[in-house]
Amino acid sequence: MVSRADLSAQVEAEVAGWEGVTTEPHRFGGVEFNIGKREIGHIHRRGGVLDIPFPKRIRDALIAAGRTRPHHVLPETGWTTFYVDSAEAVADAIWLMRMSYLLTVIRRPDRAPDVNVAREVERLAPSGELAILIERQLTRNRREGGARSSA
C-alpha cells in the first residue's frame, strides 16, 4: 500500500511543474502552490489533505458533482478539501488543482501566457452546472481580452 505522503508527493510533483506555478512551505504545514501571489491550493503531505480555493458558485458545483467536499475547517467559504488517499485519488486531485489553476489563469493570463485555457478546460470535460459556470468565466474573459481562449 502506498502512503498518503507518497500519494501527496505525486500530486506535488505534477502541479509544481505547471507553467507559472511556484511552491513554498504552507503556514499550516505541507506545500502551497501559487501563481504570482495567488494561492491555487496546498497539500498537507502526511495526511494527504488537499485544500483548494474556488469561487463559491464553482465550489458549490464541484461539491454537488461529488468531486470534492467543503473545507474541513472553513465549510462556508469557497475553500474545498479533497483527501488524497488512494492511487485513483491522485488523478482526481490533479484534476481539481488543474481547474483551480485554469480559473486563476483566466483572470491573470500574464502568469501563464502559453496556456490555452479553452483547450485545457475542454480536456478536463466539466459537466452540468460546473461547465456552465466555467463557460461564463471564459466568455467574460474573451470580452475583456484576457487569456488565450481560442483553439
Residue 104 lies in a domain: yes
Range(s) of the domain holding residue 119: 4-144
Pick the closest to residue 50 from 29, 35, 65 (CA basis): 29
Residue 37 lies in a domain: yes
In the beta sheet, which residues pair with residue 35? 21, 38
pLDDT in tens, the chain (151 residues): 789 999 999 999 999 999 999 999 988 888 999 999 999 999 998 889 999 999 999 999 999 999 999 999 888 899 999 999 999 999 999 999 999 999 999 888 888 889 999 899 999 999 999 999 999 988 887 777 654 444 3
Residue 151 lies in a domain: no
Residue 8 lies in a domain: yes
Question: What local confidence, expressed as pLDDT, does residue 145 receive?
Answer: 65
Cell numbers describing residue 136 = 461564463
> In this structure, what CATH number is given to the domain that contains residue 124?
3.90.1150
Q: What total of structural domains would you count in the chain?
A: 1
From residue 79, alpha-carbon distances to 45, 73, 117, 130, 144 in Å are: 18, 9, 22, 16, 26
pTM of the model: 0.91
Residue 44 lies in a domain: yes
